[in-house]
Structure 1
Amino acid sequence: MRNVDLGGDARRAYPSSLTDAMWAVLEPLMPVRDRSRGGRPRRWDDRLILDSILFVLRGGCPWRMIPHDLAPADAAHRWFTAWRKDGTWDRIHDELRGRLRRRAGRDRHPTAGIMDSQTVKSSEGGQGIGYDPGKKTTGRKRHLVVDTMGLLLVVAVTSASVNDRPGGRMILARLAAAFTSVALVWADAGYANSRDATMVGWARSALGLVLQIVRRRDDVKGFEVLPRRWVVERTFGWLIRNRRLARDYERLTANAEAMIKLAMIRLMTRRLAGQAVRWSNATEREAARRLNAERLLNT
């Protein structure tokens, strides 16, 4: 454990702990405790519970290995599950995304998104474990739709054996139900190759969405940064910097989805608190270059 800048707070904290500026963003969004219901007063406050959950997210350790100076593992996991079930994570996530979009000069409600999936290895077992023959990986698949800023719109975690097309139909249905403002979605050729355009037609007829396929050029070998596609790839990069998400350790797919939303909550909270992280790998540098180019074109 080392000293971390807590905005004037002199206590020692872990690198995953909330700073005072981050807590100022999150505190008004936390559920209000109903003291009229009686019962024993809570022993651990919301900030300590969040610090404990974030320690697991960032460090990737089992719940049982939460340090003794944080909340007990059973209390942290209990509140993580309770806030998933009552919609707290969803409500906080959606509010922070809206604030970031407004701060960037965009409408709170997005009109376009980018879709992709990521296969990750799982741990010992749990719900929805399967084999992805394309990736030669046993685990789960994360289906994401993000906005043009890379912020999460909807997520679904399935077995790795679920093909991109049925997984894509499921995530697009979730998107259409949650965001009536979205009219255009970009995706890779895995969702509708040259021999099968049914996904594109289904999205238009059933959901009223324009699904635009971004294809690789045949004359390019190796890695290529594709238009629009790099946005969701960058989001996957943001997620797996949290060691809990480098593999899928959750027993339930609902908890796996909640961990992804929690990672985005932490990222957005840091940005709103003025503590944005600067990445240094090639993908991040290319993303920053493209964003700067877009800003110059719009000025």
Structure 2
Amino acid sequence: MTAVDLGPPAAYTARVTRLSPTDRGKAGSKYHVLCDRNGLPLHAVVTGANTHDSRILAELLDTNPGVRERRGQAGRPRRRPGKLHADKGYDYPRCRRYLTGRGIGVRIARRGVEDSSRLGRVRWVVERTMAWLLSFRRLGLRYERSRTSIEALLKLACALICLRRLP
């Protein structure tokens, strides 16, 4: 099982992101995080706040590095999850087609039909991971101006979270 989530938008620079009419001309960014069932971040991407979530799903899954499920397991690392839990931002036919085409089980909250309380049993893991990421001050307040700096700090924070969770 794998889950996907995004972080709240915050302003950092117009050079990296396009202007959003809802932010009154301020630029913003979002963190898209792919994590495993234990909340370890597998992959993270920074996008503009006005980039829709559904457009990032394929990039997020295609650039996911391979992960072995158990230590010492023989064979190639698994590159795709068995099942994906996502919020309503990913409830679009192209996302569902993409996931089923890759053989990934789909568990996406439906827009306007399903409330998110039933997904809370699984999604709290992703929300906790986002809280861990945003606890790093430079990521939460977005001091950095360039996209490469923000992505580097995001990857470093993911590595530190994984390091802290080692037994």
TM-score by length of 1: 0.45
Comparing both structures, which one devotes a greater share of its residues to helix? 1
Within a 5 Å distance, the mapping from 1:213-224 to structure 2 comes to 213-214=108-109
The residue that corresponds to 1:157 in the other structure is 46
Q: Secondary structure at the match of 1:150?
A: coil
Unaligned residue ranges in structure 1 (runs of 5+): 1-111, 275-299
Unaligned residue ranges in structure 2 (runs of 5+): 67-77
Mapped contact 1:143–1:155 kept (Cα < 8 A): yes
Name the CA shift for 1:159/1:183 in 2 (closer, same or farther; >3 Å).
same
How far off is 1:198 after superposition?
Answer: 2.8
Residue 108 of structure 2 corresponds to residue 210 of structure 1: no
Residue 153 of structure 2 corresponds to residue 259 of structure 1: yes
The residue that corresponds to 2:97 in the other structure is 201
The residue that corresponds to 2:139 in the other structure is 245
Mapped contact 2:12–2:29 kept (Cα < 8 A): no
Q: Secondary structure at the match of 1:114?
A: strand
CA distance in 1, matches of 2:153, 2:97: 33
CA distance in 1, matches of 2:19, 2:38: 31
Mapped contact 1:239–1:260 kept (Cα < 8 A): yes
Name the CA shift for 1:198/1:219 in 2 (closer, same or farther; >3 Å).
closer
CA distance in 2, matches of 1:128, 1:120: 11
Paired amino acid for 1:115: V
Mapped contact 1:152–1:264 kept (Cα < 8 A): yes
CA distance in 2, matches of 1:182, 1:228: 15
Paired amino acid for 1:165: S
Mapped contact 1:122–1:129 kept (Cα < 8 A): no
Name the CA shift for 1:119/1:129 in 2 (closer, same or farther; >3 Å).
farther
Aligned mate of 2:84, from 165, 185, 188: 185
How far off is 1:271 after superposition?
Answer: 4.1
Name the CA shift for 1:128/1:200 in 2 (closer, same or farther; >3 Å).
same
Number of residue-to-residue matches in the alignment: 155
Within a 5 Å distance, the mapping from 1:228-239 to structure 2 comes to 228-239=122-133
Q: Secondary structure at the match of 1:162?
A: coil
Paired amino acid for 1:200: R
CA distance in 2, matches of 1:126, 1:165: 23
Measured on the aligned residues, the alpha-carbon RMSD in Å equals: 3.1
Q: Secondary structure at the match of 2:27?
A: strand
Mapped contact 1:150–1:234 kept (Cα < 8 A): yes
CA distance in 1, matches of 2:98, 2:36: 21
Name the CA shift for 1:173/1:220 in 2 (closer, same or farther; >3 Å).
closer
The residue that corresponds to 1:269 in the other structure is 163
The residue that corresponds to 1:8 in the other structure is none
The residue that corresponds to 2:32 in the other structure is 143
CA distance in 1, matches of 2:46, 2:54: 14
Mapped contact 2:14–2:27 kept (Cα < 8 A): no
How far off is 1:137 after superposition?
Answer: 6.8
Mapped contact 1:119–1:139 kept (Cα < 8 A): no
The residue that corresponds to 1:166 in the other structure is 55
Q: Could you tell me the percent identity over the aligned residues?
A: 28
Within a 5 Å distance, the mapping from 1:260-299 to structure 2 comes to 260-272=154-166
CA distance in 2, matches of 1:251, 1:140: 11
TM-score by length of 2: 0.75
Q: Secondary structure at the match of 2:31?
A: strand
Q: Secondary structure at the match of 2:142?
A: coil
